């Protein structure tokens, strides 16, 4: 009898294995989805957490905390159904103005998602967070920049110092939204990837150059997609549908960002706008040197979009929701023109845009007005480490026009760390006698009201006043992009002397100690006036 019972059990197991395929199973505590593509995932029927991520027979879901929006939605209404051959799970949070969607399609190891909000989400951010078994996917995004092993928090609870003097922070895994269509974590024969295709960012905030957390390697391997946060945010939140976006499992290879999500149109996803109800704009952007990326950006209170023009300036926007948009043109990340455009459903508008930037005569220039500090000292490192990191060069110092290079000028100045920068330069007789000399300092980000203080000889420039406050740590968490202020001072005639002069550039503002004192990130510095031997060519 025992042998017969065992035989029937084996037959039943084999039958289930043969019949296993794409489908939805209701368990006592979860909905289980078999994608028939190697991925089986479970969604809690109580709160919408993902509680199991089984891929090719290996469990990737962490054990202590589940994968969810933020750190979990709490008690929710969770329903599941099959529509048009797709599985759709809907999670309506009871204590937050949020609905989360999980969608699966046959033979595809991907969890397609969308997040619909009607108000701000406590605690002031909105993110998808997958908590994965680190032993299975040990490698985070951008290598070890957020690997916390053996490191101790020294600034807030998110920035760490390691025994070798290197620094770690999950913010150091971030990339510009315009570049960040795919990021992920990997292990032996596996990769788990976030994919933000098409217009996934349209309801996020702060434009194409916004950056946010992508991963962190602690007890779990954390994989993120941040839709909104207060991390150097420059716009109010937008409300509506975030996505569609996706989390895909592969055997290791990074997937394409060209992910088709058009099937969402038939799934009754609140806030989803199909291609047929969108419009676009095309044209030509001119006046930006081919040495720089030509970026176009459209935005209003409901949506945002961007694209990069081709080498001849031709561009076509993504498909956009109908409405009137501010249209900006950037040289790199530096704004050089602005217009507006109306977008209608199922129509293509046409508009050319040209740089309106003036081109005054310049005595000398340090760096490039491109909205980025990368060519300056430590600019090549600041996205991935703290300013105090042992790999950083010294801050402050001196610079000699005509002899020094951009790499000799610090990409940030701090009121209580590193000191000022002394810029030594020569002026000829014509320049010294000129009454049209203007000092121009471009910054990309300010902290604690930090702004330039300037002095040439006995002349001290007027304090321009504190810029608009961004209530977030910036450069210490790898950020360089904020509102982007440009300051100018008319230098009185007679200030320059024929021969050697010195500009002392410092910081007005106080703040806390060291690198958390008032500071700003430098874009470029130039002295405008009659051209001479050190003028840029």
Query: What is the per-residue pLDDT across 185-223, written as a single tens digit (0 to 9) for each?
Result: 999 999 999 999 999 999 999 999 999 999 999 999 999
CB crowding 343-376: b at 16 or more within 10 Å, else e: beeeeebebebebeeeeeebbbbbbbbbbbbbbb
Question: Looking at the predicted structure, is the pLDDT value of residue 3 above 80?
Answer: no
Cα angle 472, 221, 224; round to 5:
45
Contact 171, 479 (CB under 8 A): yes
Distance of CA 523 to the CA centre of its chain: 19
The predicted-structure confidence for 101-157, as pLDDT tens digits, reads as follows 999 999 999 999 999 999 999 889 999 999 999 999 999 999 999 999 999 999 999
Range list of β-strands (E), 434-513: 438-447, 451-456, 459-460, 486-490, 499-508
What average pLDDT does range 274-298 have in this prediction?
A: 97
pLDDT bracket for residue 19 (50, 70, 90): very low
In this prediction, residue 186 carries a pLDDT of 98
pLDDT bracket for residue 20 (50, 70, 90): low
Contact 157, 218 (CB under 8 A): no
Task: Give the position of tokens 């469990």.
Answer: 59
Any idea what DSSP says for residue 236?
P
Question: Looking at the predicted structure, is the pLDDT value of residue 49 above 90?
Answer: yes
Strand order in the sheet with 110-117: 76-83, 86-93, 98-104, 110-117, 240-250, 190-195, 182-187
Asked whether the whole model's pTM tops 0.75, one would answer: yes
In this prediction, residue 10 carries a pLDDT of 35
Nearest to 475 by CA among 408, 400, 383: 383
pLDDT bracket for residue 510 (50, 70, 90): confident
Nearest to 362 by CA among 162, 487, 530, 131: 530
Range list of β-strands (E), 76-144: 76-83, 86-93, 98-104, 110-117, 126-133
Q: How far is CA 338 from CA 329, 374, 474, 533, in A?
A: 6, 25, 26, 34
């Amino acid at each position: 009898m025992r042998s017969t019972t065992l035989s029937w059990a084996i037959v039943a197991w084999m039958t289930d294995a043969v019949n296993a395929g794409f489908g939805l199973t209701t368990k006592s505590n979860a909905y289980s989805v078999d994608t028939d593509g190697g991925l089986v995932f479970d969604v809690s029927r109580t709160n919408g957490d993902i509680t199991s991520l089984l891929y090719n027979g290996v469990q990737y879901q962490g054990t202590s905390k589940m994968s969810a929006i933020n750190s979990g939605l709490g008690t929710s209404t969770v329903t599941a159904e099959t529509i048009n051959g797709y599985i759709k799970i809907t999670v309506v949070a009871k204590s937050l103005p949020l609905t989360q969607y999980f969608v699966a399609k046959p033979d595809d190891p991907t969890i397609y998602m969308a997040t619909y909000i009607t108000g701000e989400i406590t605690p002031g951010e909105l993110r998808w967070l997958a908590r994965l078994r680190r032993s299975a996917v040990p490698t985070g995004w951008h290598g070890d920049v957020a690997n916390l092993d053996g490191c101790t928090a020294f600034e807030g609870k998110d920035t760490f110092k390691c025994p070798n003097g290197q620094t770690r922070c999950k913010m150091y895994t971030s990339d510009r939204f315009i570049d960040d269509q795919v990021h992920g974590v990997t292990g032996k024969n596996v990769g788990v990837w976030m994919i933000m295709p098409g217009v996934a960012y349209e309801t996020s905030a702060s434009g194409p150059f916004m950056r946010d957390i992508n991963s962190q390697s602690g007890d779990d391997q954390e994989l993120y997609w941040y839709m909104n946060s207060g991390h150097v945010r420059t716009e109010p939140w937008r409300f509506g549908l975030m996505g569609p976006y996706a989390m895909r499992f592969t055997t290791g290879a990074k997937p394409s960002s060209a992910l088709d999500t058009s099937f969402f149109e038939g799934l009754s996803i609140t806030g989803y706008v199909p291609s047929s109800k969108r419009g676009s704009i095309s044209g030509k952007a001119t006046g930006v040197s081919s040495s720089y990326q030509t970026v176009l950006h459209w935005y209003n209170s409901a949506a945002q979009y961007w694209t990069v023009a081709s080498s001849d300036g031709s561009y076509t926007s993504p498909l956009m929701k109908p409405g009137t948009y501010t249209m900006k043109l950037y040289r790199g990340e530096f704004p050089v023109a602005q217009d507006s455009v109306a977008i209608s459903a199922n129509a293509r508008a046409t508009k050319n845009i040209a740089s309106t930037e003036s081109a005054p005569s310049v005595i000398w220039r340090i760096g490039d007005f491109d909205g980025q500090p990368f060519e300056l000292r430590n600019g090549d490192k600041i996205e991935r480490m703290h300013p105090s990191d042992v790999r950083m060069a010294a801050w402050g110092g001196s610079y000699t026009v005509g002899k020094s290079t951009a790499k000799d000028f610090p990409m940030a100045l701090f009121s209580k760390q590193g000191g000022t920068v002394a810029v030594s330069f020569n002026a000829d007789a014509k320049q010294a006698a000129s009454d049209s000399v203007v000092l121009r300092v471009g910054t990309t980000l300010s902290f604690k009201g930090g702004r330039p203080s300037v002095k040439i000889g006995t002349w001290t420039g007027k304090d321009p006043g504190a810029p608009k406050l961004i209530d977030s740590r910036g450069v210490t968490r790898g950020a360089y992009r904020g509102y982007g202020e440009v300051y100018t001072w008319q230098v009185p005639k007679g200030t320059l002397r024929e021969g050697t002069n010195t500009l002392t550039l410092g910081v007005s503002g106080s703040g806390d100690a060291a690198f958390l004192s008032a500071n700003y990130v430098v874009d470029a510095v130039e002295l405008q006036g009659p051209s001479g031997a050190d003028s840029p060519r």
